[in-house]
Amino acid sequence: MSLLIRHFYRFADFTLDTDQRVLLRDGKPVALTPKVFETLLVLAEHNGRIVTKEEFMKRLWPDSFVEESNLIFNIQQLRRALGDDARRPVYVQTVARRGYRLIAPVEEMLSDASPSEPPASRFSSSDAQSHPDVLNRMEGSQNLSTDAGNHHRTTTSEECAAAIDVARTPSTRIGKRRVAIAFALVVLAAVAGFAVWKSVTNSGNDLRRTTELSSPSSIKLEKLTVTGESSHGAISPDGKYLAYSRDRNRKSSVWLRQLATNTNVEIVPATERVHGLTFSNSGEFLYIVKGDPTTLYRVSLLGGVPNRILDDLSGAFSISSDDSQIAFVRKSVNSDEQQEYQLMIANSDGTGERELLKTTHPNAVAAPTWSLDGKSIVCAYGSSAGGSRDVSIIEVTVANGTRTEVSPDKFFHVTRIAFLPNRTGLILSARRNFQDNTQLWRLSERGSEFRQITEGFISYGDLSLTATADKAVTSQTVSISDLWIAPAREPQNLKKITQAIDNFCWTPNGQIVYSSTTSGVEDLWIMQPDQVGLKQLTANSGVNGTPAVTPDNRYIVFMSNRTGSFQVWRMDVDGGNQKQLTYGSAKNFPAISPDGKWVFCDSTDNWHLCKVSIDGRESEILTEYPAAYPAVSPDGRFVAALGRDGAKRDLVLLPVEGGLPMRRFKLVEGDFSGNRLQWTVDGRALIYAVELNGEAHMIKQQLGGGVERITSFGDEDLFDFGYSFDGRFLAVTRGEWQHDIVLVSNLDRH
């Protein structure tokens, strides 16, 4: 007989196993991240009662400062997993301005059954309330155990009372001996909890003081915009004004807000897309990067027409402390059709351009910021193309271009860098790993100390500090993305199926393999279009995505960065026998030949096309020019890819054996999107997607000439599309990015 007493909550056809920390639906596991599981557990423990947002924050993030939007995200993910609707909830109800409540009836259970057996006895949490004498006797045991050591769960008075109530209920199927064991274990848990509590109490206030000092809870965030339309913001050096963009239909207006009075005025009307904002250090001017190609403008805060300063620069730039010079990055395409990056400086009126540093893809330069003394520029340097953590923070001397690494710490990507006063350190908005969200970090003066300031499901992008660094503004970014399916002849009738991101594929027998963050990172899942047979294929193995299935339905080929950089992998269609196929430089976007013997992909080092056997031998280079997002024709004779004609993208058609392009097709005006090329079933046309005038469009390019627009998706972003093997159905992943500006206070105390 087992001495293991397990604790469950049951509602509808769900069972919450608190010991195994798994949610079951009809006995089958439901994928939940640890934080989403904990969110459901809190609701179950307080069944029928409103759990306030403050209670959630203290329970889920006790020692960290995170935005309330992380809780909202958890609730959204929980509803997706339960199949609940926020407008017509069956399980989780939102109580406006207060919190959330689990409204489905919940049964609480104890069992000594093995994990494969059903719980042996049930009782409702409401039963304990009918015995106030039990509650009174057990009141002293509430909250006595602590979280020290991750395996101690707090024993509440309600749980103890319910355990005793089982022994008093004649209809229970737990024998007296089992009840005695259960009662003894509960008492032992309470005694052990009291001992731990006493030990912690006796350890004194020093421990609590240390926790308070090291916690980022002193940081305060206040949302300044709530429309989801503001991707860029800057705060004036004196902290009195906020400049921010409002993005609609791929056009941006620029607004100025007086923070004390909360009054707003539009200073630049909506024309082209804004890519960056910065105040001059005097506070008299606002610098704006906008347009395509990008151009830097300067506008007086007193009004007037923006003055054109510099052309062809990327979004991130920096103004020297005396407002006399500008640091920026310029991108271009060299004679080998590869991207080049130049770290440049110029006078504030745009004259006197000078190059400090030049590098070629895959290494890039980004996020330049002037040092406070004006003698150097700190920036990000390295490669993130392969999905690995290879970006450093470097300092470039203005006088001679000498390059010095600031810190040994590496990142996947750095968005912005800002100096703290008196050169006491740096604040970064950066992603540590590909699968992470962009967070705020603090780096000490000499790079010896490195701390994370924010955490959670929200990404923090743009970054601007006041002169004293007591305040800052940053942009929050959230992606909403789902998988939609429709008959191919009715693309306007797409139906939302489930949460999914980025690339997916159809299997020959009509299933869908797709990427989802339901597990907490990007993993691959498989299901029927009606969600029957849902199964997770990858787990605990980095970021996995961009799947393709062999025509015989035997293998799924995909890319994963589990070994440090993106490589092509293969697994059985059920997720078994996962095997790495490529090595060396990172590889992207695999495509499979019709005979299932070859995998085509592009190399992130130079975007040249290569192929590898489905059995995983050494890869073979097929082109000496860019050829990305490969797609093999249905007859196996040709490969179509995204090429480059100088600075412009085009479609290239080449023999499956490689070599020079046989034909080139000019892309329809707009930005290539969707990360995919797909052949029609008859092999007579190619389908791709572009973004034009704020809308995503699917385009059919006939090989014999002629272009047709298939459908458009309004102002939603199109992340991927794909037709089923027989051409009868169309699926897309689409959604939107929401951006808002937040004010960060007490940053200088962290």
Q: What's the length of the chain?
A: 750
Q: How far apart are CA 354 and CA 25, in angstroms?
A: 64
Residue 420: DSSP 8-state: P
Instruction: Say how many domains are in the chain.
Output: 2
Phi, psi of 39 (to 5 degrees): -60, -45
- Residue 17's pLDDT band, with cuts at 50, 70 and 90, is confident
Does any domain span residue 229? no
With tokens 């999905």, the residue in question is 387
CB 370 within 8 A of CB 318: yes
Minimal CA–CA distance to 281: which of 369, 343, 206? 369
Looking at residue 218, its pLDDT comes to 65
With tokens 């993993």, the residue in question is 523
Does any domain span residue 323? no
Q: What percent of the chain has pLDDT over 70?
A: 83
Q: Is the pLDDT of residue 528 over 50?
A: yes
Final residue before a domain boundary, out of 214, 245, 266: 214
Q: Which residue type is seen at 339? A: Q
pTM of the model: 0.67
- Residue 162's pLDDT band, with cuts at 50, 70 and 90, is very low
- Residue 149's pLDDT band, with cuts at 50, 70 and 90, is very low
Final residue before a domain boundary, out of 187, 214, 241: 214
Minimal CA–CA distance to 339: which of 653, 743, 644? 644
Q: Is the pLDDT of residue 746 over 90?
A: no
Looking at residue 147, its pLDDT comes to 31
Q: How far apart are CA 392 and CA 378, in angstroms?
A: 10
3-class SS of residue 513: strand
Does any domain span residue 386? no
Does any domain span residue 306? no
Q: How far apart are CA 647 and CA 625, in angstroms?
A: 13
The dihedral formed by the CA atoms of 535, 536, 538 and 542, expressed in degrees to the nearest 10 = 160
With tokens 């939609």, the residue in question is 484
Does any domain span residue 613? yes
Q: What percent of the chain has pLDDT over 90?
A: 47
Q: Is the pLDDT of residue 486 over 70?
A: yes
With 0-12 CB in 10 A as exposed, 13-18 as middle and 19+ as buried, what is 19? middle
Looking at residue 610, its pLDDT comes to 94
pLDDT digits (tens, 9 = 90+) for 545-587: 999 999 999 999 999 998 888 999 999 999 999 999 999 888 8
Minimal CA–CA distance to 68: which of 95, 99, 42, 47? 99
Q: Which of 22-31, 279-288, 727-736 has the lowest mean pLDDT?
A: 22-31
Does any domain span residue 244? no
Residue 60 belongs to a domain with what CATH number?
A: 1.10.10.10
- Non-local (6+) Cβ contacts of 293 within 8 A are 311, 312
Beta bridge partners of 235: 242
* Complete DSSP assignment for 80-130: HHHT--SSS-SSEEEETTTEEEE-S--EEEEE---TTSPPSEEEEHHHHHT
Instruction: Label residue 632 left, alpha or beta by phi (over 0 means left) and psi (-120 to 50 means alpha).
Output: beta
Q: What does DSSP say about strands 233-235 and 608-613: parallel, antiparallel, or unpaired?
A: unpaired
Q: Is the pLDDT of residue 31 over 60?
A: yes
Q: List the structure tokens of 172.
A: 């229970």
Q: Is the pLDDT of residue 385 over 60?
A: yes
3-class SS of residue 696: strand
* Better-predicted residue by pLDDT, 101 or 206: 101
Q: Is the pLDDT of residue 533 over 80?
A: yes
With 0-12 CB in 10 A as exposed, 13-18 as middle and 19+ as buried, what is 132? exposed
Looking at residue 232, its pLDDT comes to 95
Residue 485 belongs to a domain with what CATH number?
A: 2.120.10.30
Phi, psi of 458 (to 5 degrees): -90, 140
Q: How far apart are CA 562 and CA 243, in angstroms?
A: 41
Q: List the structure tokens of 412.
A: 């996947």
Does any domain span residue 505? yes
> Cis (ω within 30 of 0) for the bond into 293?
yes
Does any domain span residue 639? yes
- Strand ranges in 361-511 using DSSP code E only, listed in sequence order: 364-370, 376-383, 390-397, 403-405, 413-419, 425-431, 439-444, 450-452, 459-465, 471-487, 495-499, 501-506
Q: How far apart are CA 290 and CA 275, in angstroms?
A: 5
Terminus-to-terminus CA distance in the chain, angstroms?
54
- Residue 357's pLDDT band, with cuts at 50, 70 and 90, is very high
Q: List the structure tokens of 362.
A: 């895959």
Final residue before a domain boundary, out of 197, 214, 231: 214
CB 588 within 8 A of CB 601: yes
3-class SS of residue 713: coil
Q: How far apart are CA 121 and CA 633, in angstroms?
A: 60
Q: Which residue type is seen at 676? A: R
Q: What does DSSP say about strands 307-311 and 512-516: parallel, antiparallel, or unpaired?
A: unpaired
Q: Which residue type is seen at 276? A: G
Q: Is the pLDDT of residue 319 over 90?
A: yes
Q: How far apart are CA 343 and CA 346, in angstroms?
A: 11
Range of the domain at 598: 480-738
Beta bridge partners of 572: 555
Torsional sign, CA 132, 137, 140, 141: negative
Q: List the structure tokens of 190.
A: 């309470």
- Residue 288's pLDDT band, with cuts at 50, 70 and 90, is very high
